[in-house]
Structure 1
Amino acid sequence: GLISHMGGAILGYISIQNIQSKNNIVNRFGKLIEWFKNLFKPKPKLKVAYKKDVARDDYNYMDYKKAKQDKIDAILDKISKNGYDSLSKEEKEFLFKQSNEK
């Protein structure tokens, strides 16, 4: 009877250690069940993205940048000729926004 009690104690100790470890048989069985359930889960549909005409957008962007730079240059020329106080409120706001943009 003593050997069977000792064997039971050792098996109980090993079982407790196995349950406390992260890689125990219960966790592995649970992961196997989750994997099996995921096989039958519907997959999300792929989203189709269409590309824009990049070249045309680049030209529009470059035109916009050039027009903005031309306006900045005109304001700076006005400042160099007549001083900062000669600017209108809109020109000052535009210049302030552009200086904080970069």
Structure 2
Amino acid sequence: MCEVLKVSRSGYYKWRDRPKSARQERREELTQEVRRVYIESRQLYGSPKVAQKLNHEGIKVSQKTVSRIMNKEGMKSRTVKKHKATTNSKHNHPVHENVLNHHFSG
């Protein structure tokens, strides 16, 4: 594999055994926190609300960073449409007789 990638064996093992950088550690911690808030919201929150909640909890993070993490991890907010009543049944107007029942019952 090292030959195909044109990497020396010693370079590969150095890279593999190298400890995680501070940036990588922070990114992994943030990913866990974003996932926690996302799951607690029943997968309803998008990046703005997740970032707001984390900042409220004292974890400083920008919405852009949260958005990047959510995209990478495949987390998308579910949109829930509110029920809208289309019929007003509470009125005093006369209601027409159901003529469909007369045609089919007899």
TM-score normalised over the length of structure 1:
0.30
TM-score normalised over the length of structure 2:
0.30
Q: Which has the larger radius of gyration?
A: 1
Identify the structure with bigger relative contact order (alpha carbons < 8 Å, sequence gap 6+). 2
Higher relative helix content? 1
